[in-house]
Structure 1
Amino acid sequence: MSTHLRIGFIPLVDAAALIVAVDKGFAAAEGLDIELVREVSWSNVRDKLNIGLFDAAHLLAPVAIASSLGLGHVKVPIAAPFNLGLNGNAITVSPALHAALMEEIDGDRFDPMATARALARVVAKRKRSGAEPLTFGMTFPFSTHNYQLRFWMAAGGVDPDEDVQLVVLPPPYMVDSLANGHVDAFCVGAPWNSVAVDLGIGHILHFVSDILLSAVEKVLAVRQTWSEQHPDLVTALVRAHLRAAEFIEQPANRPEVARMLSSPERIGVDAGVIQRTLDGRLKIAPDGTMRESKRYLLVGREAAARPDPVQAAWLYAQMVRWGQTPLRPDALKTAMAVFRPDLYDAAIGRAAGTVNAIGAFAGPPFDPNDVAGHLAAFKIGRWKP
């Protein structure tokens, strides 16, 4: 007899393993009858997971940490036994901002330091002329998108709290907001960057893998108490999703996966756009310029599915850097404990490799044992030792 579970997701390509696990029957093979519930905002997903309307969720990695620490909402400890994706975000800018950046750039346009410094010059020029600050969309205060935008800007000398405006928008609303001129740029996951390019209203400036070599993006999240009460279900979930991730990573399966994800009740965008995302081959400009990256989105390869507490520590460090929480050793320990490689390893029956190099383009290598030292290396931030 199968166990019925309700799992919430946002229409993004990094929900692929979740969707494929259900639609290809990998979940059913593990005795799971999963009902996938499409949501529009991360606050909806978080709240329904926290109060038990969802048994599990496709969740922003930082939200799992913030929920466990009680930041920005009620405290509900979360366990993340599986990564649904590494990387996958991009920064997309309007044609006007792209032209302004290219006018100011000194260096390679794919070098995030060169574009960040160009942004600083654009911001300074706008201030002198009395223009309104640039507005950047991101998906949630506790999101990789927020931290990735901030990390990039600050490296070039732009203070994200003083020099520009950051606003929260649900992923599916990003494109309309750019088209309507409500934002000048955004950071979001696939496929919404590509949709903006295909409509001729955006240029993909950076893949997030330009900024961070390996950045955990979404996790399969459950309440910690639920994971303790249902260890067999956690094991079944991990096994089903690992099979799905391995299926997705086979290039020959990508057309089928893209068709599955494109259905209206799943992501609901063109299968060709989704396949380009999975292949790491994206159109980055309305004129058809293409760019390829093997690191654009990692679903199962390079041990991407295995949770890494070092990634959790880096995300916690960003929360501290930008004034969302003070630096406390006990909170760092709690944050790292959200990511559960032990549950992953137990489910697959062996210890797997891990990808723990953050690989940021600026600043010192990240050491989770010296978060204060890491933060002290950056001039711009809200944290004070």
Structure 2
Amino acid sequence: MKIVYCIPSCHNSGGMERVLSVKANYLAQCHDITIITTSQHNKEPYFTFSSNIKLIDLDINYDDLENLSPYKKIFYLSKKKALHKKRLKTVLHSIKADIVVSLFTHEISFLYKIKDGSSKLLELHFSKYFRNLDDKYNNANILKKTISRLLNYRDFNLTKKYNKFIVLTQEDKLDWKGLKNIDVIPNPISFSSNIKTDYHSKEVIAAGRLCPQKGFDLMIKIWSKLNKDIQEQWHLTIYGSGPDEKLLQELIYSYNLEKNITLHAPVKNITHEYLNSSIFCFTSRYEGFGMTLAEAMSCGLACISFDCPCGPSEIIDHQNGILIKSFDINSFVSKLEQLMQDESLRKNIGEKAYYSIRSQFSLEKIMQKWLNVFNDLKK
């Protein structure tokens, strides 16, 4: 089977890029896989892709528009989209794929119109209202909020035009009311290590893009409220990069926590860091799934998370982790202190997480769901 994935780039260390590398490498063992990007800028992929996978960049570079005024951005965006459609059409007619999957980016407005004989799928790695939530926590102006509402309306109508629309959680599926082509396939867990974490460790770990969505400011505030004796015995490392790095570092200094909290650049082998920690904290304001949470649980960490939309409530069942009402900082502090003071509790929760996550989100199990969808469309 010939399968094509469309994604803006593969040079970032994000969750979408990581998941694509895992799925594409799995499929490339038996299928012909091509990944088409628009803004790779001649950079190497951050994650490793099989040598059997073909990587094609269309050199559209939508990110060139980021610093333009809204009106200039609209003008040049239409030009780039026209070029994108032309180049993508040429490539797809050349490949003659069976399946083309868009990761819900620029090509969604025209991919379904390209008559190359392939079935067209959309795959959403965010929640339906991610733009509205992003606007809320980034203090967007009225124009930005209006554009987001229009794009949400556009998205709903566009998803109907595809053979299949895949979301990551049942919670998100409920928000897309009225769609008959929608299905739920969660992200697979890619870690193969059979080693569980060190429950003696006094390390707490978190990972993700340093931006308002991930709520690391809330995590730092939570840490500042810990009992001082407990706080001094433990250390928090946050792995990630992003626009809020300076703000978060200043927040750490303002609480005099520079000895207890470290911001660390992303690492490719995050598994090693998970296994040297005993607790994972997840304070996102919203998610599409909660990939780092599931990955940490698969390493046997004791995990504590806000019950944000969407994902954590479908990963944590209150026995394999601790779920806290979103933004209830005092409850988070109380439960985190409990975990820190009780190694047997960390081990009990972590071991349940280890087995439940590997059973529910194993690579083989999730990829079989994808293959079932692909095979049904190919009939």
TM over 0.5: no
Q: Please give the TM-score of this superposition, normalised by the length of structure 2.
A: 0.30
Higher relative contact order (CA 8 A, sep 6+): 1
